[in-house]
Each structure stands twice: as C-alpha cells, then as structure tokens.
Structure 1
C-alpha cells in the first residue's frame, strides 16, 4: 500500500475537522477567561489548544479501533474497514497521540493536568465501556464537549466564565446526544445497543433532553447577573437560548432538525461569551 495512503488513513482516523473545532473551543475558553490578558498567557494557551487537538484525535482513533467490526457494515469508507490502516497501527497511533498530549499537559497548571488526565481516561473508556450504558455515554460526551472550554480556562488559571460556559455546553450537548439517539433508534436496535431512548422510551428520553435545555436556559443569564459579562453578552445569548429551546420542541417531531438547531445554538452561545469578553476589554 502506498505510504501516502497510509498517512491519509492515519489523518482520517483523527477526524481533522472535529479535532480542530475542539482546539478552537479550548482557545475560546482561555479567551473568555482572560480577554486582553491573553497575550501574556500565549504559551499556556497554545499548549492547551495542542493538547486538546492531540487528545481528541487520539480518542477518535481509539474509538475507530474498538468500532472496527461495526464499521465494516455501517461505515466501510473509514480507514480501518477499507484497509488503509491496520488495527494494530491505529491502536499504536492513538497511544502515541495520548502520550504526547499527556506529556504536554504536564507543563500546565495542576487543575489543567487533572482535567487532561480525566479526559484521556474517558476518551479511552468511552467506546468499550461507557457507550453501551444508557445515559452514561451521553453524559461522558457532554462532559468532554464542555470541558474543552474548561481546559482553556484552567490553562490560564481562571475558571469563572469558562466554568459557566462548560456547564451550559455540557447541558446542551447532553440534550443533543439524547436527541441523536432518538434519531438513530432503529439502527441502534439492530446493533443491540442500550441507548437511553431504547431503555426508557423515545418520549421520556426527549422529555429528559427538554429538562436539561430548560435548566441551561435558566443558567444563561448568570454571567450577566454576576457582572462577569455585560449587556452585549445578553443580547447575543438570548437568541441562542431561544434557538436551543425551539430545538427541544422540534425534536419531538423531527429529531434530526432538533439536533441541528442545538448545534447552531451551542456555537452561538460560545460566540456570545466571546462578544461579551471583547466588550469588557474595549
């Protein structure tokens, strides 16, 4: 097999777009924490962003390793099913990325190191252990998605605004994951997976997603009420919150549309934090 095909296969294992987005979220967490002081912490922010990219890529690779038999049927275009990368190579590649990410994280604050260790453990355990546990797998993904913001804040040793953003993102991500499970319920039943909608029923699962979205909506004004971010934040986060509440409503009839709206709402919420931080700096 040509070398460039193997290299392309390894790159595809990491899901480059997803890894870069995760890195951007970590940078966002650092930015909303520090604002104009971000230049003074540039080294820590760069390391934290790189750690997130490497760990996310490693997690995607190891998940493909554990999912390789299912992917033969459901995702034959992925590197392992199509033969671009052997399972042993994928596992070794993932281990190297995890090791480099873990080593780099040791240059950061103790809180950032703790977050890195927890996240790497969850990424390794997700597919073989957590994914098959109803609700637990959703919670793990929700935590991992939100913790990218938290990790950025920990890198600059300021968790106030990133901590709130972490909670909001985690609540929205949990809801989106549950809605996605409802959308995928037919295929998941064929694979004998025990997702939340399969165990408790679609309507109850969607109701739980709606509860988490309502809780998120209640918490969104918190940065403004605490004086962390000003009115510009509130003006941007309000439509983001309405979009996500609408997503919860739509998901009862159109789960695919609901999770799409949730994704846009989550990114708009992150943008609200950036706008709010910029406004406090100017």
Structure 2
C-alpha cells in the first residue's frame, strides 16, 4: 500500500515536469521587474506563483486530453500507465487554476482576464490546436507572453508600453521551443492523427522554422534591452549567454542532418529549457541586479538540470526512441541513455 502511494506521488511530480517548473514564473517576475524599480516580496511572489500554478494546471489538463495519444506512443506516462486517473488530472488542473485565479484577484482583479485567457488558451491548445500545425505552436507561445503581462500587472493596474515591447520575445521563443519539442513526437503524432507542423512539412522545415522564430525572439530582446534606461549591459550579457546556449541547441539539430533523431531533438529541447531561464533573467538583471538574480536563479537551474537528468528521458521514451527518415517515418530505435 505504501509503495503504491509513493508511486502515485512520484507520478504527480512527473506530471509537474519539475525541469520546466521554474521558467514561466521567471517570465512573470521579468514583467514585474521591467515595470517598476520597487520589488515588494508579495508582488514578486505573486508574479512567479500565478503563472506557475497555471503552467502546472495546463500539464494536468494537457495529459488528460493527450491520454489516448500517449497510450499509443508514451504508455509509460502517468495516465495511460494507470498511476493517475483521468478525472484526478482534471480535478488537479481545476484546483490549481482556481488557486491561481484567487491569488491573481487578490493582487489585481484586472488580471482575471489574463487568467481566463491563459487557462482557456491552454485548454484550446491541448484539446484542439496542438494538432493544427504552426497555429498551435504560435498559440502556445502566446501564453508565455501573457505571463509577462501578468507580472507587469502585479506592479501596475495595466501593463506599460516598455513591457509590451518584450511580449514578442516570449511568444516567438516559446513557439520555437514548442516546435522543437514536437520533433521527437512525430511518429506518435502521425499515428494518433495529430497534424503538427513537423508531420505536415517534415523535420527539416520544422527545424528551420523554429530557428527563425528563435532568431526573432533574440533580436527583439536585444532591441528591447537597448531601450531600458539603466542596467542594459548586465541584461545584454545575460542575453548573449542565453543566445549561445540557444545557438548550441539549434546547432545540434542542424548538425544531425535533414532528419534529427528523437534523442537529438530531446537533447536540443533540454538545452532550450535551461536557455529560456537565462532569457527571462536577462530582463530581471537590469532592475534586480546580477547578484540578486544569481542567488535565486542558481538553485532553480540546479533543480532543472538534476530533474532533467533523472526524469526526462524516462518520461518521454518507454525504452528506446525511434530515429526518423526524411519524411518523419520511424526507421530504427535509438537509445535514450
């Protein structure tokens, strides 16, 4: 009995994807930091907490909507494996979304519009748009842009123009990383009838499109940081480090030829999971200053790296991951070690 309970608790932690858990909250904090030079703990905490609660709620609801697809290609995941019941996933998602709405209302009731948009957008993405090509990736990216706006509204009634400049950064970046994430799922998506961009247009086109979106994100971030009145140098240095990691991720994809294996796609996405935390930090440094940002970013990065190493391949691949031919069909297994 005790072993089964522990297994279920681990299944919930796996559903949270702890290696992605910290990023969207950092984006919310970035929105706050760009808006004001005053940083009360309660406002910063809300800027991190609300987007994070919605992020985890979206994982529960997304796994619920993907249960049939996961049963085909990822039967080891908690719902198809029978470790979390579908209705439990719905209840967990609903409770987390309700908690997010309660905190948001307490901070700034106007943000409830963003909460509704965020939850509705996440459900629409997982239930419908995920299978609709590039539109799904773009909608998914817009949800992180909304997190930036929410963070700004923890410090102001409405988001100022200097924050809105950065919204395309996270929209384009997360559309790109989401597109990279679909590269490892192309065989299962095709089998399940999910017409993702990679399924429709092939791996090569998907990689080039993701790289273009990533380049757009970095370009807009650079231009936006140059408009800040102070602290630009620290922000730009952090952005250069992030861009170096991002370039390395796409370098892996391009170096693997016209058809990256699922394992290569996963490795590239793992790099982007770390890189995007530094991207958000680039907006935090000008206002909070580098030592403060490093103090809370370092443990987040440590948890991210550790949990990716311990959990991620097991979450994505049952035993072995297929390699793909140029048209995206499976050809031979590749180990996930």
| TM range, smaller chain | 0.7 to 0.9
Using the TM superposition, give the Cα deviation of residue 33 of structure 1 relative to its aligned residue in structure 2, in angstroms.
3.1
Using the TM superposition, give the Cα deviation of residue 121 of structure 1 relative to its aligned residue in structure 2, in angstroms.
0.5
Count the aligned residue pairs: 279
Q: Hey, what does 1:79 align to over in structure 2?
A: 78
Unaligned stretches of 5+ residues in structure 1? none
3-state DSSP of counterpart to 1:193:
coil
> Whole-Å Cα distance in 1 between the matches of residues 70 and 46 of structure 2?
33
Q: Hey, what does 2:315 align to over in structure 1?
A: none
3-state DSSP of counterpart to 1:192:
coil
> Whole-Å Cα distance in 2 between the matches of residues 234 and 109 of structure 1?
31
Q: Is the 8 A contact 2:26 2:280 kept in 1?
A: no
Q: Hey, what does 2:255 align to over in structure 1?
A: 253
Larger displacement relative to structure 2 (111-120 or 163-172) = 163-172
Match among 274, 286, 290 for residue 276 of structure 1? 286
CA RMSD, Structure 1 to Structure 2 (Å): 3.1
- Structure 2 CA distance for partners of 1:61 and 1:253, relative to 1, 3 Å: same
Matches within 5 A, 1:56-205: 56-109=55-108, 111-157=110-156, 158-160=159-161, 162-205=163-206
Match among 14, 18, 22 for residue 20 of structure 2? 18
Provide the TM-score with structure 1 as the length reference. Answer: 0.82
Provide the TM-score with structure 2 as the length reference. Answer: 0.70
Larger displacement relative to structure 2 (45-54 or 122-131) = 45-54
Q: Is the 8 A contact 1:213 1:245 kept in 2?
A: no
Q: Is the 8 A contact 2:34 2:284 kept in 1?
A: yes
Using the TM superposition, give the Cα deviation of residue 132 of structure 1 relative to its aligned residue in structure 2, in angstroms.
0.8
Using the TM superposition, give the Cα deviation of residue 57 of structure 1 relative to its aligned residue in structure 2, in angstroms.
1.9
Q: Is the 8 A contact 1:243 1:265 kept in 2?
A: yes
3-state DSSP of counterpart to 1:83:
coil
Using the TM superposition, give the Cα deviation of residue 127 of structure 1 relative to its aligned residue in structure 2, in angstroms.
1.7
Q: Does 1:226 align with 2:252?
A: no
Q: Hey, what does 2:306 align to over in structure 1?
A: none
Unaligned stretches of 5+ residues in structure 2? 293-337
Larger displacement relative to structure 2 (154-163 or 80-89) = 154-163
Larger displacement relative to structure 2 (73-82 or 189-198) = 73-82
- Structure 2 CA distance for partners of 1:17 and 1:215, relative to 1, 3 Å: closer
Q: Hey, what does 1:262 align to over in structure 2?
A: 272
